[in-house]
Amino acid sequence: MDFDDTPEEALWRTSVRDFIGAHGDELPGGYERYVDREEKVVQRKRWQRLLYEAGFVGVTWPREYGGRDGTPMQQAIVTQELAKVGAATLINGIGLGMAGPTLIAHGSEAQKRRHLLPLLRADEIWCQLFSEPAAGSDLAGVTMRAIRDGDGWRVRGQKVWTSGAHYADFGILVARTDPTLPKHAGLSYFIVDMHVPGVTVRPLRQMSGDAAFNEVFFDDSPIPMENLVGEVNGGWRVAITTLMNERLMIGGGGADLGIGVEELLKHAAPHLSDLTPERRALVRQELGQCYIEALACRLSGYRRLTGLSHGQIPGPEASAGKLAGVALARQIADLGVRLLGDDALFAGDARGDRHWQYVMSSSPGLAIAGGTNEILKNIIGERVLGLPAEPRLDKGVPFDATARQRVEAAR
Amino acid sequence: MNFDLSEEQRLLQSTAGQWFSDRFAPADMRRLLADDGQCVDRAALADMGFLGMLVDPAHGGGGLSVLDLAVVAEQAGRVLAPVPLVSTSAEAVVLLRGIGGRHAEALLQSIAAGRELVTLVDGVFADGDTVSGTSRPALGADEATVYLLLIGEANRRSLAQVRRGPDASPVSQPALDPTRAMARVRLEHARIAPLGSGGAVDSALARARCVAMSVLAAEDLGAAARCLELAVAYGGERVAFGRPVGSYQAIKHLCVDMFVLVEQLRSLVWFAAWAADHDPEQLPMAAAAAKGYAADAFERCAEACIQVHGGIGFTWEHDAHLFWRRAKVDRLLYGDAAAHRDVVAEAALATVS
């Protein structure tokens, strides 16, 4: 057990630091999560491309597709160093964390050659078209249809909660290709070009005021044969790969979700002397609790990272990191606001600084986006602990059966 | 970076796990609750090398790391083994090593060989070369053969030993968890033999407490993990309304909450033990984090285990309350969770000021 870099890792870390030091003026700040204006998109694409050209993006990906055949530890070092300087997450995070690894695992040779390099360079941005208004946690219940049309398909329907769709060039899409089969069995997984006819992206405003995600409408949009990933009606297996990677991406590696405890400490330290001794004792209790939890989250991330570098495949247990990280982020955000005193009654202070209120209003969504707490608990309960599954009324029933037929079939 | 146990530690884990589960079961606590039996077979523990793990090989010990001891302690915790890993193998040994000198080394040899069980006792005052009065409750005191007396207050502390006997004996009191051998010690003009004094005692004591807290958190980790296993097993067996209760989210999610607590605790325990071996500067914070988290996590797991079991869960016959008893005592040892959170807050705030 040790927390030191190997000599190779130390060299690598130095090269990452040197790069960041030399390009400080290009660095997008951490609270620019809300990419709404064209110039921000341009700036953040440029930043990812610079980082890629320096060799720090897609480090673990195969060299033949633009990666560096590097180790998970090297990629983690890049992430750590970027976090230290408060850099925003990369604009193509969904491409890098979810679409790319899925294509590497299930894509055809032609798909990998066509898409992976532009994805790494942020020349083409990706989004994830999975959830629908009536299918989120129950993802396999998606109703969006893909209907055969000549060699390819046409898709019709609506997707929702699609982060970054307003500047994405491609999406990974799960749609129903055979509604006469049971729900998991009739799905296919596609690459969809966001610039083809019939695609309409409409921003959705969140409670924080951001419009980071969207609803996306498809009106007979064409998908060519070569954009099918995996087999026809074999999309669920491919989607699972995407979801596994999502779990690792969000909280699995121990990175802060939303906000780091150091920022809370810096915020709290000057306020402590204003408090009565009784209040101060209570605040110190919460600070201690947050710090312990943050330490545990980071250390648990190190354990997962160690497993990855020993060749273990990330499993559903990584979701424990998201559960713990989300609870911590919510507590940090809330305490941050309460420390503002009377200004906690407002959405910002008299000078217009809204930072802590913004962080607080962003935090409920963390427990929903990327897998709700409840769904993650079901998955850990069943796949990790081996508890029996909840009975399902739609198991083995053709998807197009009516609700009544489904209930009867389940009996 | 490599945050995992080594091959040797995995082997130690399985050897110790087998050894403890062959000899002990939570049900032993029920027997102890009924008839006050002897808990420790110290010759067997010494044969395995568990008492002297941290003792220098020159004094008959294993010369092993705190992390190694934590690995063993987790396995002892799983079966609520009534063994003095915290009070003797960790606290007394680290304290004696820190003090050094001929008398301390002789005691270390006796500990490693299983001749003496040594435990630290606090809260007494000396009058010349004898001590009278009643100590604060001390872990392992009911079983110990030699007491290390901490005399006086910070900066003017001294450490002395006294052998258990008519003038130095545990006070009988009903036990909440009899496997902890918790007792106050009554001293009546007990003649003491000095071991050390001043700053050396303070610094040795600070480290000994941190190591003891880390090892205690490791025992709690094992016990909390066992509570989770019991709850999951019952959730899969017990049927209500035509299906196993573990299929209901109300039960399943409770079990997952336990799982998250156990895994977070495991990371903190390993870190505290690692810090004890390699990073003395971080040790006070790391040990407080592990012990403070363990107090809450184990207590919550023990209570959830009772809840998942329903009616059988709060019977005398079921083991669930034995884990709960252990949790209710352990959470208060070396300071409660609130005290540890405050220590961590102080250390954390110091990093930003």
Query: How much is the pTM?
Result: 0.95
Q: What is the pLDDT of residues A168-178, one digit of tens each?
A: 999 999 999 99
> B220 and B227 in contact (C-beta within 8 Å)?
no
Half-sphere exposure of A168 (CA within 13 A, CB side): 31
Nearest to B348 among A73, A287, A380 (CB): A287
Cβ neighbours of B278 in A, within 8 Å: 2
Q: What mean pLDDT is predicted for residues A335-362?
A: 95
pLDDT at position A385 is 98
As a whole number of angstroms, the distance between CA B107 and CA B120 comes to: 13
Give the model's pLDDT for residue B39.
65
Place of tokens 């209760």: B245
> pLDDT tens, A16-68?
999 999 998 888 875 545 566 777 899 999 999 999 999 999 999 999 999 99
Higher per-residue confidence, B35 vs A390: A390
Residues B51-82: b if buried by 16+ CB within 10 A, e if exposed = bbbbbbeebbbbebbbbbbbbbbbbbbbbbbb
Locate the domains of chain A by residue range.
7-91, 126-235, 253-371
Non-local CB neighbours of B117 within 8 Å, separated by 6+ positions: B40, B42, B84, B88, B111, B140, B143, B144, B145, B146
**Among candidate residues B153, B38, B140, the one with its CA nearest the CA of residue B85:** B140
d(CA B268, CA B213): 12
Interface check for B344 against chain A (CB to CB < 8 A): the answer is: yes
In A, which residues are within 8 Å of B246 by CB distance?
381, 387-388
Between CA B111 and CA B88 the distance in angstroms is 8
As a 3-state breakdown, chain A gives helix, strand, coil percent values, each rounded to 5, of: 50, 15, 35
CB B107 within 8 A of CB B161: yes
Find the helix or strand (DSSP H, E) in which B147 lies. strand B146-151
pLDDT tier at A89, thresholds 50, 70, 90: confident
B interface mutation test: which of A2, A286, A299 has the most B CBs within 10 A? Answer: A299
B241 close contact with A: CB closer than 8 A: no
Compare CB distances from B247 to A324, A374, A387 and report the shortest one's residue.
Answer: A387
C-beta atoms surrounding B134 within 10 Å: 13
The answer to whether the Cβ–Cβ distance between B268 and A386 falls below 8 Å is no
Which chain A residue has the Cα nearest residue B338?
A285
Contact B344 A262 (CB under 8 A): no
- Which residue of chain B is at minimal alpha-carbon distance from A266? B352
**Which pLDDT belongs to residue A25?**
83
The yes-or-no verdict on residue A407 having pLDDT over 70 is no
Indicate whether A410 pLDDT > 70: no
Do the strands A152-163 and A145-149 form a parallel or antiparallel pair, or are they unpaired? antiparallel
> How far does A31 lie from chain B, in Å, by closest CA?
21
Residue type at position A10: A
Express as a percent the part of chain A with pLDDT over 70: 95
Q: Please determine, for residue A394, whether its predicted confidence score (pLDDT) is greater than 90.
A: no
* Most A CBs within 10 Å, among B9, B260, B353, to test the A interface: B260
Domain B201-350, CATH homologous superfamily name and number: Butyryl-CoA Dehydrogenase, subunit A, domain 3 (1.20.140.10)
Token digits of residue A361:
């209003």
* Distance from C-alpha of A24 to C-alpha of A28, rounded to nearest angstrom: 9
User: What's residue B261's pLDDT?
Assistant: 98
Q: For the residues B300-322, what does the mean pLDDT come to?
A: 97
Contacts A391 to B, Cβ<8 Å: 243, 247
**What pLDDT does A30 receive?**
59
Q: Does the annotation mark A132 as catalytic? A: no
Residue with tokens 């705190």: B66
Specify the residue for token string 């294993």: B62
Q: Does B240 touch chain A (CB under 8 A)?
A: no
What is the rounded distance in angstroms from the CA atom of residue B139 to the CA atom of residue A193?
Answer: 68
Considering CB atoms only, which of B1, B243, B345 is closest to A5?
B1
Q: B271 vs A300: CB contact, 8 Å cut-off? A: no
Alpha helices in A35-158 (DSSP H): 38-53, 72-84, 93-94, 100-106, 109-120
CB contact under 8 A, B235 and A289: no
Q: Which residues of B touch A317 (CB under 8 A)?
A: 263
**Cα–Cα distance between A403 and B229 in angstroms, integer?**
38
Task: Kindly give the interhelix angle for B320-330 and B27-35, rounded to the nearest 10 degrees.
Answer: 70
Nearest to B268 among A296, A388, A390 (CB): A296
Contact residues for B170 (Cβ-Cβ < 8 A; gap 6+) = B141, B142, B164, B183, B184, B185, B186
Q: Which pLDDT tens digit goes with each residue over B69-115?
A: 999 999 999 999 999 999 999 999 999 999 999 999 999 999 999 99
CB B89 within 8 A of CB B51: yes
CATH 2.40.110.10 correct for A126-235: yes
Partners of A3 on chain B (C-beta within 8 Å) are 1, 3, 274
User: Rounded distance, CA A171 to CA B194, Å?
Assistant: 76
pLDDT digits (tens, 9 = 90+) for A193-236: 999 999 999 999 999 998 889 999 999 999 999 999 999 999 99
> What's the rounded Cα separation, in Å, for the pair A179 and A185?
9
CA distances (Å), origin A369, targets A236, B114, B134: 20, 57, 58
Provide the pLDDT confidence category of residue B127 given band limits of 50, 70 and 90: confident
Out of B244, B253, B264, whose CB is closest to A296?
B264
Q: Is the pLDDT of residue B36 over 70?
A: no
Q: CB burial class (10 A; 0-12, 13-18, 19+) of residue A151?
A: exposed
- Please report the number of interchain residue pairs, chain A to chain B, with beta-carbon separation below 8 angstroms: 155
Interface of B with A in 82-141 (CB under 8 A): none
Report chain B residues whose CB lies below 8 A from the CB of A272: 349
Q: Choosing from A132, A215, A246, A293, which is the catalytic residue?
A: A246
**B244 close to A (CB below 8 A):** yes
Q: Is A196 within 8 Å of A222 (Cβ atoms)?
A: yes
From the options 1.10.645.10, 1.20.140.10, 2.70.98.60, 3.40.50.620, give the CATH code of A253-371.
1.20.140.10
Which residue spans within A110-262 are E strands per DSSP?
Answer: 126-129, 145-149, 152-163, 170-176, 187-193, 199-204, 213-223, 228-229
Q: How confident is the model at residue B339 (pLDDT cuts 50, 70, 90)?
A: very high
Phi first, then psi: give them for residue B160, nearest 5 degrees.
Answer: -140, 160
**Residues β-bridged to residue B311:** none
CB A247 within 8 A of CB A316: yes
Q: What is the DSSP letter of A98?
A: I
Q: How many residues does chain A have?
A: 411
pLDDT of residue B214: 98
CB-based contact, B8 to chain A, within 8 Å: no
Tokens of B37: 């039996």
The partner residue sitting opposite B1, judged by closest CB among A3, A266, A320, is A3
What pLDDT does B126 receive? 86
> Which residues of chain A are within 8 Å of residue B228 when distances are taken between CB atoms?
385
Query: pLDDT of A301-337, one tens digit each?
Result: 999 999 988 888 778 888 999 999 999 999 999 999 9
pLDDT score of A297 more than 70: yes
Instruction: Give the number of C-alpha atoms closer than 13 A to the C-alpha of residue A296, restricted to the C-beta side.
Output: 34
- Asked if A208 and A229 touch (Cβ cutoff 8 Å), the reply is no
In whole angstroms, give the CA distance from residue B169 to residue B166: 6
Closest CA to A292 of B352, B291, B216: B291
Residues near A79 by beta carbon (within 8 Å), at least 6 away in sequence: A253, A255
pLDDT tens sequence across B176-208: 999 999 999 999 999 999 999 999 999 999 999
Domain boundaries, given as residue ranges, for chain B: 201-350
